[in-house]
Structure 1
Amino acid sequence: MAEDRIKSVAILGIRGLPAAHGGFETFVEYLVPVLVKNGWKVTVYCQHIGTGPIFTSKYKGVELVHIPVKNDTPWSTIIFDWKATRHACRSQSLLLTLGYNTGFLAIYCRIKKVYNVINMDGIEWKRGKWSLPIRIWFYLNERIACLMGDHLIADHPEIKKHLQTRVSVDKITMIPYGAESVETAKPEKLKPFGLQTNNYAVVIARLEPENSILEIVQAFSQKPRDYDLVILGNIFPEQNDYHGRIKRASNDRVKFLGAIYDPEVVQSLRYYSRVYIHGHTVGGTNPSLVEALGAGCCILAHENAFNRWVTQEQVLYFNNIKDCSDKLDLIFRDDELNTMLKLSSRQVFHKMFEWLPILKQYEKLLEIKLKYALNKSLLIENSSSSLK
């Protein structure tokens, strides 16, 4: 029984595989082939919209456990996480939980004596988009996950510093997010949008206040320009007041393309941009910023500790609307600077964010923690036996 646990891990906290929802799913898509190749038994829990009993399937050597829930709502996700956690704890595998949105479930794992490694993601309760009750929910779950999780992963040094205010430093390991290196793309993917290579700025982000979308649009639109500003992300100006303000602030060179999920189109839009603008002000190692580095983009980022570490201070930064506008002027007119910044992005990417070294760090951590959990359980078993 103990030997079966040596190479067994169950992954919780995502919607499932194949990846179709976000950064954590993409990360798992890269991680599981490495683990399977190296002899791990990997189980991934998948949220299935529907009814009926739990069922399983296989995907790239991984066992997928599909847990049906009736609806695609936050409450349904909580139910899914609860059922997945109960099921995973029965397997006695090491747990890798991605995110702390239902961090209270770590209490159950601790009761069942199942070792739980939690990737703590960003500081979700600080995001301005959430109402006060939701922020309180995230805050409490972060606290519980920190206390009840057996080991924590931070994807950024600033996240690690934050977690150190909750737990001791030896309980935290810093491992960043990764991305693929993009060496080429398909220029024909730009044609449906009326775009030309190297003749537009691009923003790929949710249209939320903490991502500085309004400030970027205001900075771009305050004067006539010979370039376009392309924004990828759902916009609902009639239903969302912030979206309405963004729309009203934009001029006719701002193009709202909506949310695009075709990876080839997104890759081409990023790769052939004159500049990638990253306005995120909170979070850890943001996947979209790492992907921009991997595509060799010229990057203009909001100046904060999160973005400075990811880019290693090798890009341009802005602090306010005027600063953003001035930096755009510089990037649009200076070809030599543009080329230099693109080369800097690639250098930072290859030094820090290639997938394989990052995935190896994850596997090494999982091996260490699984051996620790096994030794701990054997000590308990031996102690119990000596009392009989």
Structure 2
Amino acid sequence: MENIKIAFCGTRGIPAAYGGFETAVDEITKKIIVQNQGTDCYIFCRSHSGKIIEDDFEGRKRIFIKGSDNRKLDTFLSSINTGLYLLKNRKKFDYVFWFNNANFFGILLTKIAGIPMAINTDGLEWRRAKWSLPFKAFYFLSSFLICLICRNLISDSISIQTYYKKRFFKKTKFIPYGSVNIPNEFDLSDQMSILAKHGVEYGKFYLQITRFEPDNLPLAIVKAFSETNLYKEGYKFILIGYKDSTKYSQEIMKLHNQSGVYIFPANYNIKELHILRKSAYCYVHGNSVGGTNPALLEAMISCKRVMAIDGPFSKEVLGPQLGNYFKETTLKEDFLKSQLMNDQSLGMSIRIKEKYNWDEVSLAYLSLAERSKVQNNYSKNIKGDFLELD
């Protein structure tokens, strides 16, 4: 196939050590360079250095762009600097994928540069409780404007796709998230060591792995668990994800070592997290805003049972037959009901393999870039209307 140069922008970069989009870019680009060896993948990463640094990383090219030490300004500044780089080096790239509408200024600069692109819109960020009203307004307006100026938008959830069609009258392309391929085999000694490290017994603890943000409900969930008295029956609740000291995270930390609740720092060790999921009685998924959430997919790969927030995104991923759904207002009762759940690991594993496959996800992204390349070549050689992309 013809050589294609694709840029992946808007994330913190690789190796993935933050969230879902970083993992997505890592997995998609690893697959693409195998599926089409004529493709060069450029991944824009964030740096606090003023210098632009480029290197090679596991067959892909990284470009480090300056962000900001201020978390609230990091996305805005890095997106502008990424957009300026693309504008200056517009002939270097055949296609650009942006992730997250909050990168509006970089997306706008890419439009000005005339480089074909697609945007993965992310979830409905303006519904997140953590954001101030000005940011919510900015995010909503950015999403609206992106729908006007960009032809190709990607939704990783049918629910998000439906929302964009109804709210913005915009058709998007559905490309789901993929699930990480985690080997099921591990040494018993490793399992015993990791369980001991967290002070739990096999099958006697609930688990949540999440960022400490209100929309993920970690505070409400651990409060409800402590009210159930399940700890008196030997159950514990392990919450993993503490990273930054905020007013919200401090409220959560007050519950550490209370009524069976134990809180641990953010952990990116795939093997260790897999063993914890595999050993837990039940995984609790509280992410209430967003599309297809990677934490839920990872739980379905490894866990025996899943309690998930009652909402369209959870139901889309789990389907009608799997998981137990909870409401924030009835969490205590829902915890008690979870004690009656059967082992659903086989059903969840089958659904993951059928619906959320990185090979198919990466092929869908590659197809968008290849079709744009064909269209551009066609337009250079034949006068007339462009071929329309879906």
SS in 1 for 2:101: coil
Q: How does 1:105-120 map to 2 (within 5 A)?
A: 105-120=106-121
TM-score, scaled relative to structure 2: 0.86
Residue 202 of structure 1 and its aligned partner are, at CA, apart by 0.4
Which residue matches 2:332?
A: 325
**Counterpart in 1 of 2:361?**
358
Secondary structure in 1 matching 2:102: coil
Partner of 1:177: 177
**Take 1:241 and 1:45, find their aligned partners in 2: how far apart are those partners?**
31
1:280 — aligned with what?
A: 287
Aligned to 1:47: 46
Paired residues for 1:1-388 under 5 Å: 7-37=4-34, 38=36, 39-52=38-51, 54-69=52-67, 71=69, 73-89=71-87, 90=90, 91-164=92-165, 165-169=167-171, 172-182=172-182, 183-185=184-186, 186-187=190-191, 188-225=193-230, 226-234=234-242, 239-241=246-248, 243-244=250-251, 247=254, 251-313=258-320, 314-322=322-330, 324-332=331-339, 334=340, 337-339=341-343, 341-376=344-379, 378=381
- Measured in 2, the distance between the counterparts of 1:373 and 1:119 equals 22
CA–CA separation in structure 2 for the residues paired with 1:369 and 1:358: 17
Distance 2:381 2:148 in 1: 24
Determine helix, strand or coil for the equivalent of 1:260. coil
The answer on whether the counterparts of 1:106 and 1:148 sit within 8 Å (CA) in structure 2 is: no
Instruction: For residues 260-282 of structure 1, give each alpha carbon's deviation from its aligned partner in whole angstroms, at most 9, with x where no partner exists.
Output: 23222222222211000111221
**Structure 1 residues 68 and 207: alpha-carbon distance in aligned structure 2, compared to 1, 3 A threshold:** closer
The offset of 1:241, in angstroms, is 4.9
Please, which moves more after superposition, 130-139 or 117-126? 130-139
Structure 2: tracts of 5 or more residues without a match: 386-390
How far has the Cα of 1:345 moved from its partner? Answer: 1.3
Alpha-carbon separation, structure 2, partners of 1:330 and 1:197? 20
* Map of 2:388 onto structure 1: none
For residue 271 of structure 2, what is the amino acid of its counterpart? E
* Alpha-carbon distance between aligned partners in 1 of 2:292 and 2:262, rounded to the nearest angstrom: 27
Taking structure 1 as reference, are residues 201 and 299 closer, same or farther at Cα in structure 2, changes over 3 Å only?
A: same
Structure 1: where are the runs of 5+ without partners?
384-388
Output the aligned Cα RMSD: 2.6
CA separation of 1:246 and 1:302: change in aligned 2, threshold 3 A? farther
2: CA distance, partners of 1:84 / 1:280: 29
The separation in 1 between residues aligned to 2:20 and 2:243, in whole angstroms, is 21
Q: Match for 1:155: what amino acid?
A: D
Which stretch shows the higher mean deviation, 299-308 or 134-143?
134-143
Q: Deviations over 1:182-227 (max 9, x none)?
A: 4244412121111111110001112222222233223212232220
Question: TM-score if structure 1 supplies the norm length?
Answer: 0.87
> Does structure 2 conserve the Cα–Cα contact (< 8 Å) formed by 1:302 and 1:319?
yes
Partner Cα separation in structure 1 for residue 324 and residue 356 of structure 2: 19
